[in-house]
Structure 1
């Protein structure tokens, strides 16, 4: 039987994980290790080529609160869960070929909230604190201003629908929460998730859940997976203070289903992992999955099994398999939203588990998509005030104690701490303030609250104001290359896919190279003299026949770069993803392929 050719995305995953997999011993690396590592990284960087393809698909992963400090801690945590030191490893997105920094401030705030930041990276316009899908003309709570069409802004999800693409949202928060809501809603207050939350201030405005089900673009989103049944009037459990109750008596999940069926579509509403797994992509047009009354459980609390709720990875895979049916492509937003909640409560262990769960979702997405036609972006909306401090030894448990004693109070301290939050724990002895001794508790416990300097109530640790990182791979990923304003993200993604503001002005320059032959031609509008060389005739909208048989998208391993064309299938099938340790060393490739191979730099 003929063997199916391995998708390029799968090969890239193997390269990304194999070439950088840390060794499982704890002895210090010698100078040759660092020299070879540096040389290999240099050669890989010199081999990078920009991918100018038009992105048929765009997948945007958003780690809510995934600041650089949290990202670093999670990288170490991930490695230590595997029995390694941790520092030398990587999260899946950290091996993407392009990275940038984003400035996260709001129009009116130096340190942002998730609603205004989501408006920036999804709609391309910065707005005010706590507002969604509106520009700077609308301030927090100004209902009348938010109803003015001139002050509303549309999202990349909306632009994708206008271009005929399918769209989806996946989150483990409420589907009406700040990040997902920015994709479809326009409101002066992010908390107006259901009608009872509007109060006098929001009287006359439409709540977020209502907008999702009855307005564009919400009603045309093909896949919606997350929490938040209560805001849609479909509660299945006891009342919770953190949720939003509908007082109008409407069940918006029933309205959603009736709307799809009345338009002749096949649609499913599911509430458990088992129900979601039974949904077949080929005969389902629309899927709504709400797996909790409020936010979905933390990953460590999630009930595993058919009656439980899906993981972020499960939902991502299901969404991609439904959306990949679209001939014109798709846009998918995936939010790891509970990272933020754990950090707000000064509980780093839960936050680390959430980041690792998002890491698994990104890795799964890479296996599902073709990176030659899919732009995949990973970023954060804002940071938190957690810090990695002290001088812990290499490989010290990231959730543990540094080993240093304070020269003031003689007590040790944990590696992860917060500048504010509910983790404060102080007593006063006469006129001296004393903090608790972390040696007396289990700092690795899933609910241990790290110490904080400034006290706040539970769940009220604040965001941080520093820049956040962004990683990208796929068509036009090189547009992310320096420190950008956060609203730039929407513009770059739209240009990659030639949608929204770039629908008629996304021509590629004459030096552009393409790795995927269009079928049969791809329309690329020409909008400047620089791009005229691409066209077969002058004028906007000229049909451009992109060259075929060009080198595939560059890998991270120079050794594999030389051998990939002849040995791609052999590499993939010989060892498999889990057993591969390194393709960056000559000897490893010799052993695998049985032939003499030299690194390009002669090493």
Structure 2
């Protein structure tokens, strides 16, 4: 009897899936399928934009890096579709804000020891300019994991973009939805052979003689000089509100409250400092009268966006306050903004949690774009690594990106989820044993917008792993065109330093005479300040003459709005830039002469 019932149950499941697909997939007329003319116009518009590209060769007064932790290419694609569907549109034809930046590249994420890296090694590459070993922070690959003595050797320690910026007089800060001592933010200031040494209680025997990461943030350079520190992680700082419940909470054993020490030190140094723990306290902080700001809004990581509490500020809110403070610097600033819980959503096989985090991350970027001038601010959006998320199954346009594909050609006759993982905790919800056989469960019978939902996976693991493929990088602002092909991850730090004329590039800030930027770089710093070595390098940077970077006809955000309103509209005829025209007329000109305009 049971054997007869099984096909019936599966048939009912298939019919229910088809009904749901009928309701969720927009008919062709509602999707307004484009004719060939509209696609042709869209292609012409993209080409027109590329032909009229102007390079920004200014010195970057400011540098902002947005790191979507774990935000691989498939996650960006899924986020783009999810974003559109939340607005009642098909989604596939839209963009995340950063995808319309003028420059993009692929970044190779492997670390010194692993094909598939962790966030400590990748962040060290991003911000220190050197690849290192798995789980290491701010130390060279010669330092073995847990080798405290070797990590204390100055010859093995790496300096970061934050130190370079501070040495040049720039203000610095970090904003994250994870602990401020977690791998990505810690790479800015810590030197540790183990990313998990976030509190003294985690050091153990192997860590004796080393400072924990939280201690380094408060007492060592460059951490103690950072003007803005916003995120989670009160436990490692000895300032937890609740009692720790597990070893992973990383509670302090020395009885120190590092937030109090931080406040005391800043006060003794004569600064106006503020420590806040709620969204309201952050809102009430007067940026004009605040020199240093530390905000820790959770004992551990901040809650997922889909679990957001009223007393916890959003990533856009924290980003806005950080910029309110950092923008006061006449010399400029460096800021890291991390969407750290994108990674956590993927680790638990929850696309819903991860994509909501990605949209929050995008909103933080949009807030920043409203507050800075891209003519003087280099903005980079990238990921530190990818995950094993895939998009598959031939779903139709308009199909719920969190749902099933409608492809019933699987050998078991069941639908498949559009978003699946290679491994992770979702295995238990993928397969079950019936009548002594392992069978796949029907994903259409579950709610993918339930935070407890886990996507189907192939290999069981307590947590899903990272992915090893290249990740995307998008950039706008001074020297953003230096991101132009597939790069090693450590290259990113070198571009940031060169664009801002800091670090090793303070005295190596010139363009070769044949370079694309064959015009003097304009520095947009106040004329009242005393000239320094960076000013001299900017004056001497380029041999030759040329025009300053032109002012755009419309802001980047306005261009985004226009694209959303009329995606295929082509108002102007296809026009070739003057430099490209000269290249067409004189093919003998060197390639570098015209490359930047194409």
Shift in Å at residue 117 of structure 1?
A: 0.4
Query: Which residue of the partner structure matches residue 8 of structure 2?
Result: none
**Does residue 455 of the first structure (1) align with residue 455 of the second (2)?**
no
Q: Give per-residue Cα distances to partners, 1:46-87, cap 9 Å, x unaligned.
A: 111211100000000000000001110001000000000010
Aligned pairs for 1:57-456 (under 5 A) are: 57-241=62-246, 242-304=248-310, 308-425=311-428, 426-429=431-434, 432-456=437-461
Decide whether the 8 Å contact of 1:515 with 1:551 is kept in 2. no
Q: Is the 8 A contact 2:316 2:364 kept in 1?
A: yes
Task: Give the corresponding residue for 1:7.
Answer: none
Deviation at 1:580, TM superposition (A): 7.4
Equivalence for 1:479: 482
Structure 2: runs of 5+ lacking an equivalent: 1-27, 577-598
Q: 1:493 to 1:226 in 2, by over 3 A?
A: same
Q: 2:537 is matched with which residue: 525, 541, 554? A: 525
The worse-fitting range, judged by mean Cα deviation, of 404-413 and 187-196 is 404-413
User: In 1, are the aligned partners of 2:59 and 2:523 still within 8 Å (CA)?
Assistant: no
Equivalent position SS for 1:470:
strand
The answer to whether structure 1 residue 492 and structure 2 residue 491 are counterparts is no
Distance 1:428 1:106, change over 3 A: same
The alignment yields a C-alpha RMSD, in angstroms, of 2.4
Deviation (angstroms), 1:533: 3.3
Larger deviation, residues 254-263 vs 407-416: 407-416
CA contact (8 A) 1:400 1:444 kept: no
Partners of 1:532 and 1:515 lie apart in 2 by 11
Gaps of 5+ in 1: 1-22, 535-545, 554-563, 588-596
Partner of 1:20: none
Q: Which moved more, 1:511-520 or 1:380-389?
A: 511-520
Q: Hey, what's the Cα distance between the residues in 1 that align with 2:560 and 2:77?
A: 28
| Secondary structure of 2:426 counterpart | coil
- Give the Cα–Cα distance (whole angstroms) in 2 for the partners of residues 397 and 577 of structure 1: 24
Q: Deviations over 1:362-402 (max 9, x none)?
A: 11110010100000000000000010011001110000000
8 Å CA contact 1:423–1:449 kept in 2: the answer is yes
Whether the 8 Å contact between 1:25 and 1:84 is mirrored in structure 2 is no
- State the TM-score, normalized to the length of structure 2: 0.86
Partner Cα distance (1:406, 1:446) in 2: 29
Distance 1:172 1:369 in 2: 22
Quote the Cα distance in structure 2 between the aligned partners of 1:509 and 1:348: 46
* Distance across 2 between alignment mates of 1:153 and 1:119: 9
1:407-462 deviation per Cα after TM superposition (whole angstroms, max 9, x unaligned):
421111100001100001322346632111112222333331001100011xx110
Which stretch of the first structure deviates more once superposed, 226-235 or 240-249? Answer: 240-249
* Cα distance in 1, alignment partners of residues 222 and 194 from structure 2: 19
- After TM superposition, the structure 1 stretch with the greater mean CA deviation from structure 2, 511-520 or 256-265, is 511-520
Q: SS of the counterpart of 1:39?
A: helix
Q: 1:410 to 1:222 in 2, by over 3 A?
A: same
How many residues are aligned here? Answer: 536
Query: Distance in 2 between the 1:62 and 1:514 partners?
Result: 31
TM value normalised by structure 1: 0.85
